[in-house]
Amino acid sequence: MNARLRTSLGRVEGLGSSKSGTSDFLHQRMTAAALVPLSIWFVLSALTQVGASRAAVAAFLGQPLNAVLMLLFLATALYHMSIGLQVIIEDYVHQEGMKLTLVILNRFAAFAMAAATSLALVKLVLSGP
């Protein structure tokens, strides 16, 4: 991370004013920027697949470019969601134990969703039409 964005104490401790706030802020903005073209691709792709058979969707996602773009879309969206939800938890949950529990559950849920959607995508792509 750019040292100019940190306070003197933050540079010494390796932390921002709220531990990882600057890093989360930058990750949130980078994932948002990445999601713009990925979301456009996703919506256009989904519209072309409306009413298509499972075999047609599998063939569409079986193309390497489409499979990679779908995986990037899913991973980026879930990471973006996880960061955003963590910020909400940290801002509005005031009991430390509950806050820690919810942050851990948030990360676990995002990881579980990423694993499940990635597995489903790989299974769909490998099963073929």
**pLDDT of 57-81, one tens digit each?**
999 999 999 999 999 999 999 999 9
pLDDT at 26 over 90: yes
Question: Hey, what CATH class is 7-127 in?
Answer: mainly alpha
Q: How far apart are CA 69 and CA 78, in angstroms?
A: 14
DSSP string of 26-71, one letter each residue: HHHHHHHHHHHHHHHHHHHHHHHTTT--HHHHHHHHHSHHHHHHHH
129 versus 46: the higher-pLDDT residue is: 46
- Both structure tokens of 7: 């306070």
Q: What angle do CA 104, 107, 113 make, to 5 degrees?
A: 135
pLDDT at 129 over 70: no
Report the percentage of the chain scoring pLDDT > 90.
71
Q: How far apart are CA 81 and CA 110, in angstroms?
A: 8
Q: Are residues 99 and 82 in contact, defined by beta-carbon separation less than 8 angstroms?
A: no
pLDDT digits (tens, 9 = 90+) for 82-107: 999 999 999 999 999 999 999 999 99
Q: How far apart are CA 9 and CA 80, in angstroms?
A: 28
Beta-ladder partners of 24: none
Domain boundaries, the chain: 7-127
Global confidence as pTM:
0.79
pLDDT at 3 over 90: no
